[in-house]
Structure 1
Amino acid sequence: MPLRYSPRLRLRLATLLVAVSIGSGVPYPAAAGPGDANTDRLGRLQRQLDQLVATPGGPPGVVVLLQNGDRRHVLRAGVADLTTGRPIGPGDQTRIASTAKAFSGAVALHLVQRHALGLDDTIGKRLPQLPRAWSRVTLRQLLQHTSGLPDYSRDPRFQRLIAADPRRHFDSRRLLDFVRGVPLAFRPGTRYHYSNSDNIAVALMAEAVTGRPYEALLREIVHRPLGLRRTSLPQGYEMAEPFMHGYAMDPVEPPVDVSELIGASGVWASGGILSTPRDMNRFVRGYASGALTSRAVLREQRRWVEGASEPAGPGRNSAGLAIFRYDTRCGVVLGHTGNTPGYTQLMAATPDGRHSLTFSLTTQVNRTTTPDLLRKVRAVEESAVCTLLRQK
């Protein structure tokens, strides 16, 4: 069925594509009793979620999953589908956007732990088919966004193609061809610059040393060990029911459902994964704690440089290897964010993996298109972190 939208929203959707880059809290299991400090904190967070959904241009739905040890709470506001009014929940499939970069990091770091890859392995060594000018870039620099690799998603030809046909099928393993003739933006290791090209190269390195498709590596290294049952990396644009519908929002225009606006082949290892808040929570608990790798590799992963995820997460951001550190007023969590048309994500956990949260919105929020809304979202995310860390 063709998507229908006004000229104003048509322009807004074009901007989003080029950048590709009502409810109540429901405890799971039962919440603490009346008057308990935990209940008060959950109530305050719930009111903030309700206010976020009521904000002009805000998300039609938001679901937050908090887990301390074995105890979980789910808070939600709005709905998963504006047409049916179906409630939003942690089992709904969603586009996880750039949080998928942490999944490619998990694959690569596991291969480092197995000595199949080295953090100082270069593009020249593992991917000699790529431009010679990129040959000294290391896996470490790719994972930390200090590579200087030009961002294929900002290439004018790529942007024209995806704007003309958002569901266009790309050869995911040839995405870097769009910037093959572009020199490095800076000397590798000297600056931080977030680039979607980095994680495409990471996945290609993983394939090169194993001889196996990246999708198979994801299943073997990440999905099965962590029990991720509704997580996949498709090539097309379809989503599986039940899923949270994503919307393009405008303060003066009706919402437009963009859930299946774009295909995943054009973002692949950089942002194409479909998952659920429940699966994302399982993943980040294992990933942040180092369950998929070794203590030595974990130490390397946590060598921080100044740099923010996209969009920026709560508090002060710094970048490790395919993971970010969020220093909030209540403590530190490690994780990743992401945004894509219709969706914005945060997943984070304490360094030991015992305390975790996911924060999923059904509209795209970033510093370029919605800076004011992003400030509100980051404030609520920080409140969610505080609610998580202060629970007893």
Structure 2
Amino acid sequence: MPLSRSRLLLAVLITASAAGLAPAPASASRVPADRPYGNSRLQRRLEELVHAPGGPPGAVAVLRRGERTEVVRAGVSEVGTGRRPQATDHMRIASVAKAFSGAVALGLVDQGVLGLDDTIGDRLPALPAAWGAVTLRQLLNHTSGLPDFSAAPAFRETLLADPHHRFDSRHLLDFVADQPLNFPPGTAYQYSNSDNIAVALMAEAASGHRYEELLHTLVDQPLGLRETTLPQGFELPEPYLHGYAVQPPAPPEDVSTLIGASGVWASGGIVSTPDDLGTFMGAYAGGRLIAPAVHAQQLTFVDGASEPAGPGRNEAGLAIFRYTTRCGTVYGHTGNTPGYTQLAVGTPDGSRSLTFSITTQVNQSGNPQLLGQLRDVQEDFVCSLLQD
């Protein structure tokens, strides 16, 4: 029987309590929808993941090495159709959206509009005074101590009562405004969805422009990202990768539009395609959107894993993670949300990028064994990106 809405949402809320919900010309790197499968070894690894217990109905990886692009895919984009995943299919990128809010904030730092040591008290005086000493730097590397709004009982109750509820994205932190910091700023690492909401609000306060406008002018427009949006609702543009809840022996249940994006906003609401996402991550990892001095600040790392953990050893920079694998180092971000799990990375020089997208949610709290297999497969793809 299909999973009940309440059971699906309960899984969402459990996940929230665990961690939270180049520029080479863009036209030169566009991926035709009919590119071949490519590397048989990688193809086999992806097929193994799709056929694993609880595995995703579909998966697609796009590897870019300079002007050369390879697409590897397995399974289907929609159960029952036989249609294969495409690099031009839309999808929820989940917490990889935090890299986009990081790009906006660091772009403003580069312009002198924001400073990494600007505080919540300076830029957002309406927020609780107890949070006032938290800096932009600490928000970006998750050492702020801000309580996670997505774990707040009132937020959960609202979502459970109406999964398509239209939240006021700029007031998501109100759900935890009565709570103190979890620890003194800068003394510990704790991944929190609240951090990137505050980042976007600081960007708006400093610039006088809405976050959506900043995203367009500082990121989408310079990189030619034509299929990357930040919606408020629950619908996805066609064509899209359908996301599924997979809990055998029940058949996969389509959860692509289970919840809207307004409740995650700058922390996880972006919809993109593997094609656009690879363009972004190559530029972002390579520091092409900001000056070298700002990029050097971004690449100051502390111990801390993304959510879910990416391949190899994870360390947290400013809205970017360093993944140290057996084959070398890449920079990027991961994400998970109902129906989707994402990895997007680029090489330090930005010349190569990988997007790795699967159509079910995988994380440590929900399916740790599958996460271990996923990270192992991702590492093989990173090795191919770096060595081939």
TM range (shorter): over 0.9
In the alignment, structure 1 residue 209 sits paired with structure 2 residue 214 = no
Does the CA-based 8 Å contact 1:106-1:287 persist in structure 2? yes
Contact 2:282–2:350 (8 Å) recurs in 1? yes
Supply the distance in 1 between the matched residues of 2:363 and 2:102 (Cα, whole angstroms).
23
Deviations 1:266-313 (A, max 9, x none): 000000000000000000011011111110001100011000000000
Measured in 1, the distance between the counterparts of 2:135 and 2:106 equals 13
Given that 2:87 and 2:275 are in contact with CA atoms closer than 8 Å, whether structure 1 keeps it comes out as: yes
* 1:143-183 CA distance string (max 9 Å, x none): 00000000000101111111221111100000000000100
- After TM superposition, give the deviation of residue 19 of structure 1 in Å: 2.2
Native 8 Å contact 1:27 1:72 kept in 2: no
1:35 aligns with none
Residue 11 (structure 2) pairs with residue 15 (structure 1): yes
Contact conserved, 2:110 with 2:294, CA < 8 A, in 1? yes
Aligned 8 A contact 1:347 1:357 in 2: yes
2:229 aligned with 1:232, yes or no? yes
| Deviation at residue 85 of structure 1 after TM alignment | 1.9
User: Does the C-alpha gap of structure 1 residues 267 and 148 become closer, same or farther in structure 2, counting only changes over 3 Å?
Assistant: same
**Cross-structure match for 1:277:** 274
The reply on whether 1:328 has 2:313 as its aligned counterpart is no
Distance 1:291 1:284 in 2: 10
Q: Distance in 1 between matches of 2:54 and 2:249?
A: 8
Q: Identity of counterpart residues, as a percentage?
A: 60
SS state at 1:266 partner: coil
Whole-angstrom distance in 2 between the partners of 1:320 and 1:298? 10
Q: Distance in 1 between matches of 2:363 and 2:172?
A: 23
Q: CA deviation at 1:13?
A: 4.0
Check 1:200–1:6 CA distance in 2 against 1; reply closer, same or farther (3 A cut): closer
User: SS of the counterpart of 1:250?
Assistant: coil
- Post-superposition, which runs of at least 4 consecutive aligned residues in structure 1 deviate over 4 A? 26-31
Change (3 A) 1:321 1:360: same
CA deviation after TM superposition for structure 1 residue 27, in Å: 10
- Name the SS for the 1:326 alignment partner: strand
Match of 2:76 among 75, 79, 97: 79
Structure 1, unmatched stretches of 5+, are: 32-38
Q: Does 1:136 align with 2:155?
A: no
Q: For 2:247 and 2:217, how far apart are their aligned partners in 1?
A: 41
Q: What residue is the counterpart of 1:36 in the other structure? A: none
Q: Distance in 1 between matches of 2:3 and 2:317?
A: 42
Determine whether 1:53 maps to 2:50.
yes
Contact 2:61 2:73 in 1 (8 A): yes
Alignment TM-score, normalising by the size of structure 2: 0.94
For 2:177 and 2:295, how far apart are their aligned partners in 1?
32
Cα distance in 2 for partners of 1:148, 1:115 equals 26
> C-alpha displacement at 1:83, in angstroms?
2.8
* Alignment root-mean-square deviation, CA: 1.5
332-341 or 85-94: bigger deviation: 85-94
Deviations 1:39-81, CA, capped at 9 Å, x for gaps: 7xx2211101011111121000000000111100000000101
Separation in 2, partners of 1:19, 1:156: 14
Q: CA deviation digits over 1:14-58, x for unaligned, max 9?
A: 22244241xxxx998678xxxxxxx7xx22111010111111210
Structure 1 residue aligned with 2:248? 251
| Residues paired across the two proteins, number | 374
Q: 1:121 aligns with which of 118, 121, 144?
A: 118
**Relative to 1, partners in 2 of residues 1:388 and 1:205: Cα closer, same or farther, differing over 3 Å?**
same
User: Residues 318 and 231 (structure 1 numbering): CA distance in 2 closer, same or farther, change over 3 Å?
Assistant: same
